[in-house]
Structures are given as C-alpha cells and as structure tokens.
Structure 1
C-alpha cells in the first residue's frame, strides 16, 4: 500500500512566494512543493492506483481549467496552527473538487473544502500568533489559471512525487 494525493501546483511565481515563508515556518518544506490539495492522501495498492489514474484522465477531460486566486492570509486556528494563503472557491474549482469525491474516488471528503496553500504549520501557539500577524500584514494578491492537476505518491522518506499529470479540458488531450 502506498499513500496517494491529488494536488494542483501554482506557478513558479506563487511557489517562490509561498516558499519564502515555508522554508522558515513549514517543516514539510522539503517534502512537497507549495500546492493546493484537491484530495487528501489515501492509501491504495499499485493496481488500485492504475485504475484511479484511468478515472482521473476521464475526469480531467470533463473539467475546464480554473482560476486560482490567492487573496488573503488566513489560519485554521484553533483547530490547528496552520497558516495558509486562502484561495477563492470558484465554481470550477468546487466542481472539480466534488468530482474527485464521488463514490468511484472513495466518497465524500472528511472535511468541508477550504481551498488553500499552506505556508506555515506545526508552530507553537506563541510562534503562530507572531508569524500569523506578520504574514497577514504582508498579505497576498495573486491570480492565475490552473490547467492541470497531479496524482502524487509518497516515498518512504516522506516526500511526495508526481505519479501522473492530467490536463484539464477536452482540447488539451
């Protein structure tokens, strides 16, 4: 069994901005690039993941590229000390997220969908307040089009790597 997840990677420009914070405040910095999680990690066998990849190829054709708009710095506190770039939940993004949580992909998500790009996590309460305050002041205002998503799998050292990339939209195939 391996762990798999589905994400969208933003442009280098937004990744560089996110990483400028992550290298200081996110212990997962070296394990995965900045990303928007479309489906939380699940366990699957090699055979299951091949079937999932085939279904994802069909799903990607049925969904158009979406706008990723990161418009503020927010936090999941008090649930946990995660600071993130809040991403606008556009109809296209929500539709894609819902399509990845149908029965054939293992059913409904565990949590309601809050599109975001994590920039800080696993901070103490005091660190969290200080870092959150300064990052909130810095803010974020970025918009781009995302035309693909990625099926990732986790390596033994905890890092994530791309298993397959799926382009959104019919004409992209």
Structure 2
C-alpha cells in the first residue's frame, strides 16, 4: 500500500479566510490548492494502518481540548529564510500545545521548522516583490479575533490540492 501525504491544520472563520484571501489571490501561487489555514503538523507520509493510529490520537486530543480564542494584530515575514509573508497569530498556549502533541507518538516526530502559528498570505515571491508586499503590509494593523473549536486531518491529492480527511471537534460530544 502506497503511503499518502497528510497534514493537520485549523481553518479559521470565513471572515479571517476572506481577509487572508484578499492578499493570497494576488501573492500566493498556491492559493487554489488549500484555503487559508494554520498548520499544526506539516506534511507527512502515512499508510492506512498508521493513519488509523493518528486519527485515534487526534480524537483523543480533541476530546481533551476546549475551544480557545486566537488573535491576529499584524503581519510578519520568514525572511531571510523564505520570502513568505503571513498573518501572525499572537502567542497562544493552546496552539503550541496542539502542535507539540502532534509531534509525539503515534505522529511522525520530525519537525522541519519551529512552530510559528500563522496564516500565509504570500509566498514564492522574488526578493523585490517580497520587499514591496511586506513593506506595505507591515504598516497595516489588523484586529482579527476567532474562536477555534476544531482541527482537520487533511490529505494531498495528486494535483497538489489538499482536502479534508476528517474533522475533530474540541470537547467530548
């Protein structure tokens, strides 16, 4: 059985997605592959048996969590590592906890980057384009708030797009 590529993310409210998409449409070549999201667990490969264990762990994690609030007040950038501009999610213990738990057994434990909660609004730009976009957006103030009450296990399709495999709602049903 060929492993499938999975990831775990939170999709924010429609309002926050609309704000992010107003930039992503212009500045993110991956705009059409996935809606605006907060990545909890970067892409990983899993077989059918392995993903069953991940699903069980996700459900257990969701059961023990309560909904929590997030806040976005500004943009930031991963420059000079990459030319990515993002909506910065303010320090949040619940997001950090979730991401950390998703790097323990039975999840694959490798982590390519330190966890920085964010919603990408531009990527893969030239250095000049990145400077222009970041230069104008970093002066903008954002006052976005949202309540997170679920996360999604996603899988990647052959065309590179992502789709929801399962949704995990916080709190015991």
Q: How high is the TM-score relative to the length of structure 1?
A: 0.94
Counterpart of 1:47 in structure 2 is: 49
In the alignment, what sits opposite 1:71?
73
**CA–CA separation in structure 2 for the residues paired with 1:167 and 1:155:** 24
Is this contact kept in 2: 1:102–1:108, CA < 8 A? no
Q: Unmatched 5+ residue regions in structure 1?
A: none
Q: CA deviation at 1:108?
A: 5.3
Please, what is the CA RMSD of the aligned residues? Answer: 1.2
Q: Secondary structure at the match of 2:129?
A: helix
Partner in structure 1 of residue 113 of structure 2: 111
1:150 pairs with 2:163: no
Instruction: Indicate conservation of the 8 Å contact 1:64/1:92, yes or no.
Output: no
Does the residue aligned with 1:14 lie in a helix, a strand or coil?
helix
Give the secondary-structure state (helix, strand or coil) at the position aligned to 2:139: helix
Q: Say whether residues 1:6 and 2:8 are aligned partners.
A: yes
Q: Which residue of 2 is the match for residue 136 of structure 1?
A: 138
1:36-76 deviation per Cα after TM superposition (whole angstroms, max 9, x unaligned): 00000101112221221122111111122221211210000
Provide the residue aligned with 1:93 in structure 2. 95
Give me the whole-angstrom Cα distance separating, in 2, the residues matched to 1:66 and 1:43.
29
Q: How many residues align?
A: 171
**Which runs of structure 1 show a deviation greater than 3 angstroms over 4 or more consecutive aligned residues?**
none
Q: Deviations over 1:97-137 (max 9, x none)?
A: 11111132122533221100000000000000001111122
Which has the larger helix fraction?
1
Q: C-alpha separation between the residues in 1 aligned to 2:11 and 2:103?
A: 19
Unaligned runs of 5+ in 2: none
Q: Which has the larger displacement, 43-52 or 127-136?
A: 43-52
Q: Please give the secondary structure, in 1, of the residue aligned with 2:81.
A: coil
Query: How much has 1:141 moved relative to structure 2?
Result: 1.8
TM-score normalised over the length of structure 2: 0.94
